[in-house]
Each structure stands twice: as C-alpha cells, then as structure tokens.
Amino acid sequence: MVLSYGSCLDDQGQPNGDLRKVTLLSDASHAPQGLRGCQGILALWGNALVQWESRRQPFAALSSTEAELIGYVDALTMGESLQVILNVLEHNDLVERGQFEIRGDNLSGIQLLLAPDGPWRTRHLRLRSFVLRDRLAAREWRVQHTPG
C-alpha cells in the first residue's frame, strides 16, 4: 500500500483547489459499555491533505451523537490551530476572505449545532458544543453534512 500525492497545480500552473478554503472532515465511533470511542479528523487546505489525526476520544460518550460532537469540537480546535499558520503563509488573506467548514456524517449532531433548542435530554451536548456553535453563529465556520 502507498500514499500518493498528485500535483498541487493544474495544467495552467494554477493551484488545484481554492487556497482560501479550509475543510475538516470528522468522524467518530461510539463505543458502548462505557469505553472510549475512536475518532478521525482530516484537514484539507484547498484540496490537499495537510494534517490528520486518529485517536481514542479523551472520555466515554453517552451516545453516537455525543461522540460525533466531541469529534466536531476537536476538528474546530485543529482547524483554528491550522488557520493561524495558513494566515501567515497567505499574508492574512484567510482572515479577510477565507472559508472554513467542518463536515461530518451525523445528522443529529449537526442539527444540534445548527438548531440547539432541543429537548432537555440534549442539554449536556449543547454545553459541550458551545464554542463551535458560537463560531457558527458568528459565521466564522460552517458545518455541512456529508453522507457516511
């Protein structure tokens, strides 16, 4: 098995993908019986993979929705760290015109981020995802469903 990267430039010598766009792909698995789940995060700048992570989650989640929310918040943390570096490389162009999004495959987790006024049983999830919801409300970040 190999990992192969293509050219960052198209046939005309222009960058492949929009270098003002940062996309984080997050997925997590819920581990029943009180075990910690696993998560994976990919960070793309334009169309290029620039950072990735695969690890056990720091604590046990109560549901698959909570496991995915933990992954989405960790993706935000990775993305904001990457954003600082990319802003230096791109002379602050990302600050002015950048697009930042997190993609995940859990509709209920994304729905809690976009419309957090759910039943009382989801209060702990709303608290856990407060920072990410704040970034979404300020339109600094977007969240999008990607079928798994």
Residue 10 within any structural domain of the chain:
no
How far, in Å, CA of 46 to CA of 49, rounded? 8
Nearest residue to 136 (alpha-carbon basis) of 114, 111, 109: 114
Residue 13 within any structural domain of the chain:
no
Residue 132 within any structural domain of the chain:
yes
Nearest residue to 141 (alpha-carbon basis) of 109, 87, 102: 102
How far, in Å, CA of 6 to CA of 87, rounded? 24
Residue 35 within any structural domain of the chain:
yes
Residue 1 within any structural domain of the chain:
no
Residue 94 within any structural domain of the chain:
yes
Number of structural domains in the chain? 1
Residue 141 within any structural domain of the chain:
yes
Per-residue pLDDT of the chain (148 residues; tens, 9 = 90+): 776 767 767 788 777 778 889 999 999 999 877 789 999 999 999 888 899 999 999 888 888 888 999 999 999 999 999 999 988 888 888 877 889 999 999 998 898 888 767 665 667 777 778 889 899 999 999 999 999 8
State which residues form the domain around 134. 21-145
The domain that holds 45 is classified in CATH as: 3.30.420.10
Residue 100 within any structural domain of the chain:
yes
